[in-house]
Amino acid sequence: MPKINKDMSFIQAIQAHPKAVEVLSRYDMGCVGCMGAAGETIEQGAIAHGVDVDELVRELNALFKKKK
């Protein structure tokens, strides 16, 4: 079962896995310092940045399959 979904805020995703910051950075999404990080969903941010939300969520969830 996925741990991160498109309806989560960026802060929730980062709290779920700290390396989510690295994935978001690869997509040029500097969401950690953004004012909307607490309230904006991953889907909203992906749309705003022209990123495929399904691909982004897949990559974020792949973090849980890797060794920390």
pLDDT, tens digit, for every residue of 14-66?
A: 999 989 999 999 998 876 666 667 788 999 999 989 999 999 999 999 999 87
In terms of C-beta distances under 8 Å and separation of at least 24 residues, what long-range contacts does 23-26 make, across chains too? 23/56, 23/59, 23/60, 23/63
Q: What is the pTM of this model?
A: 0.85
Domains of the chain: 10-65 (1.10.3910.10)
